[in-house]
Amino acid sequence: MDTIAAISTPPGEGGIAVIRISGDTSLDITDKVFRGRLLPSKLKSHRVIHGEIYDGNSLIDEVLLTVMRSPHTYTGEDVIEISCHGGRVTANRILKTILKEGARLANPGEFTLRAFLNGKIDLIQAEAIADIVNARSLKVQQCALSSLKGQFSKRINKIKESLERIETLIEAFINFPEDVVVDETDIYVSIKDSEVQVETLLDGARYGRFIRNGISIPIVGRTNVGKSSLFNRIVGRERAIVTPIPGTTRDIIEGTVEIDGICMTFLDTCGIRNSQNEIEVEGINRARKVISGGDIIFLVIDQSQPLNEEDIAFINLLKHRDIIAVLNKSDIKKNGKYEIPFRNVSVSAKTGENIEKLLDLVRNEFSSLSRDIFILRERHINILNRVKQSLEDALRSDTIELTVYDVKSAIDSLKEMTGEIRRQEVLKSIFSQFCIGK
């Protein structure tokens, strides 16, 4: 394969920049541009040397150069990393010099693609690398690291190996019926066990989505019940305008807080009511969209006043959703009885009373996120659904021949997930999402 090179650090000013080179001619190329105590090709693997990079006789920068020899490298090829002073100019000059000496510019994700093609990682682990790079919270980083270490792949391979044993046994029975004894009950029990394991992974997909994308929590209710005050109290700063005038909030205001390693995005919405104000009407329409996409919804009710028609309309609108009723203004005398069909907590957005208790209800809702779960991408979910369907078909098959056909289909799908069966369009889609240099 060609020798490739790219800047691996983000563009802009910084302490250092790193140029990465991978391929059979990496050492030959760096021998031409590096001047130090030893040539890079004379160094043992995983050694660092101080020196200078030249373009012909023109000094570019003083650098540290790291030599990593195949096969014990990220890509499985000879890899050189040059650490130079940060900034766009210096790193780009070094890269251009490397390219002039015979390397070509790497495509997005090509270093990781080579790691996959050279058997250093499987496709699930490659996707986990992208998740680590793009992690928005501690929980995402931890789950992605678990997948990078092979925990998700082990689960998939365990299912695949179990199905391969079933396939081998059935094939032997079909080809040598006089010599092989098969207990069909045991076969179908094993298939069912594999199906249960697939369902367990799919059940965790919802939690994986919350980990990756965070949790969306719209704060809704009629006008002037303290939604913006509650929002400001939770996010810890005054982002929403708070006044006693009804209908102050006209747009959706977002604030993200990391709680127990999970990103939770709170959305302050305007009250939903009949209005002739065009701006407020647009805000109301946006609020409806936000409500429809919320994972948990905070319904704020002013407990210093009796429930009115707008409160009741909200309760009816949201009765089939995951709701926490926030009975606000506990610092004011309560006025009315509340029979609300949701979990509820009495708080004061003004003083902060019971805000932590409210957040504890959210924590409890997602306490299962601390379990051993994985971040499933849409690709994983689609494949696991195909496997599940194949196993269901196998369990319903009228003949052992049809059973083994469905088992083979499930195995092939699992091989596609790990990359044992390669589809070029899938590889292109996955690695094109990486940055250049990774």
What integer pLDDT is reported at residue 275 of this predicted model?
A: 46
Q: How far apart are CA 80 and CA 6, in angstroms?
A: 11
What integer pLDDT is reported at residue 271 of this predicted model?
A: 58
Q: Which pair of tokens denotes residue 428?
A: 């292109």
Q: Which pair of tokens denotes residue 401?
A: 């021949």
Indicate the domain borders of the chain: 4-106, 125-204+376-431, 211-370
Other Cβ atoms within 10 Å of 269 Cβ, number: 28
Name the E strands within 56-140. Answer: 58-68, 79-85, 104-105
Pairing of strands 215-220, 34-36: unpaired
How distant, in Å, are the alpha carbons of 174, 175, 188 from that of 179? Answer: 10, 9, 21
Q: How far apart are CA 414 and CA 153, in angstroms?
A: 10
Q: What's the start-to-end Cα distance of the chain, in Å?
A: 17
What integer pLDDT is reported at residue 199 of this predicted model?
A: 92
Q: H or E stretch including 103?
A: none
The interaxial angle of helices 151-175 and 184-203, nearest 10 deg, is: 160
pLDDT tens-place string over residues 310-369:
888 888 888 888 889 999 998 887 776 667 888 889 999 889 899 999 998 888 877 655
Range 4-106 has CATH code 3.30.1360.120: yes
Give the CA count within 13 Å in the CB-facing half-sphere of 173. 16
Contact (CB, 8 A) for 262 and 210: yes
Query: What is 125-204+376-431's CATH number, 1.10.10.10, 1.20.120.430, 3.20.20.70, 1.20.58.100?
Result: 1.20.120.430
Q: Is 77 helix (H, G, I), strand (E, B) or coil?
A: coil
Query: What is 211-370's CATH number, 1.10.3720.10, 3.40.50.300, 3.40.50.150, 3.65.10.10?
Result: 3.40.50.300
Helices and strands of the chain, counted as H and E runs: 15, 13
Listed in sequence order, the DSSP H helices in 149-258 are 151-175, 184-203, 205-213, 227-235
Task: Report, as ranges of residue numbers, the positions in the chain whose pLDDT lies below 50.
Answer: 239-250, 273-284, 370
Q: Which pair of tokens denotes residue 351?
A: 């003083």
How distant, in Å, are the alpha carbons of 109, 325, 413, 430 from that of 435? Answer: 6, 43, 28, 11
What integer pLDDT is reported at residue 162 of this predicted model?
A: 95
Please report where in the chains the tokens 């499933």 appear, as a residue.
376
Listed in sequence order, the DSSP H helices in 222-321 are 227-235, 278-293, 309-318
CB-based contacts of 154: which residues, under 8 Å, 6+ apart?
A: none
